[in-house]
Amino acid sequence: MNPDYAEKQAGPVLVVLSGGQDSATCLFWAKQQFTGPIHTITFDYGQRHLVELECAEKLSKKAGAEAHALIPVSSLSALSSNALTHKDVAVAGYGGMNGLPSTFVPGRNAIFLTLATAYAIPKGIKNIVIGTCQTDYSGYPDCRDEFIKSIQHALTLAMGSPVKIYTPLMFMTKAQTFRLADKLGVLEEVVKNSHTCYEGDHENLHAWGYGCAVCPACELRQKGYEAFLEGR
């Protein structure tokens, strides 16, 4: 989906805000794109990088969101063994479910979008923004455009009310995501106030943001930032 629209979108919007680079960029994109108030929702699913929850709350306040909801989803860590919810699983591994990366959390985006819609509809919010991206999706099947379109249809049927899911980063590389943040005038905000590192390192600040600089998330973010600078 092209993030540049000829006209702003009417009505309030709910941003699924993890606190990472992608969702932070989507938050500020939504602030400029929608005419109504912004709401944000974050999920605590027992992730090892819990610092992202703090980042999400701070980002929500900085963007002037009308409300920020933190929803516990502890069942995700009980359903499967993966690197994001179990510290004994290496973050750089493969060969788990269907050979997917060890950081893949089965059902995560399906559950998040279902809960986000259940939160939004009673409040009269029919627009939902999420930072999924299939260009740099690391092999996660629930980050594909095909999945988003299918669950949008399913949730519209389930709620008896139309739901529109926006994925402004779907076909962007990490470099293009940094470029969008720069275009929105929030590059420094995204770099310094979002968190992507799987290891939860929020002490070491690099030019591209906080992180261990070793895990797959940090490597992707660093390479994306370097490519962004080269293309400036």
Instruction: Determine the Cα–Cα distance for residues 216 and 197; give it in Å rounded to an integer.
Output: 8
Domain hosting 32: range is: 13-196
Percentage of residues of the chain with pLDDT beyond 70 = 82
Residue 124 is assigned to a structural domain of this protein: yes
Instruction: Determine the Cα–Cα distance for residues 105 and 224; give it in Å rounded to an integer.
Output: 23
* Residue 223 burial class via C-beta count within 10 angstroms: exposed 0-12, middle 13-18, buried 19 and up: middle
- List, for residues 87-112, the tens digit of each pLDDT value: 655 566 555 556 666 666 667 889 99
Tokens of 120: 């939004």
pLDDT of residue 1: 42
pTM for the model: 0.89
pLDDT higher than threshold 60 for residue 209 = yes
pLDDT of residue 77: 64
> 135 pLDDT band (50/70/90 cuts)?
confident
In DSSP terms, 195 is beta-bridged to: 210
Residue 48 is assigned to a structural domain of this protein: yes
Residue 229 is assigned to a structural domain of this protein: no
Which residues are within 8 A (CB) of 88 and not within 5 positions of it... i.e. 6 or more apart? Answer: none
Residue 176 is assigned to a structural domain of this protein: yes
Residue 173 is assigned to a structural domain of this protein: yes
- Count of structural domains, the chain: 1
Residue 72 is assigned to a structural domain of this protein: yes
Q: What is the CATH number of the domain that holds 135?
A: 3.40.50.620
Residue 61 is assigned to a structural domain of this protein: yes
Per-position DSSP letters for 60-109, written without gaps between them = HHHTT-SEEEEEE-THHHHH---TTT-TTS-TT---SGGG--TT--TTHH
CA of residue 32 relative to chain centroid, distance: 18
pLDDT of residue 98: 63
Residue 149 is assigned to a structural domain of this protein: yes
Given its phi and psi angles, is residue 7 left (phi above 0), alpha (psi -120 to 50 degrees) or beta? beta
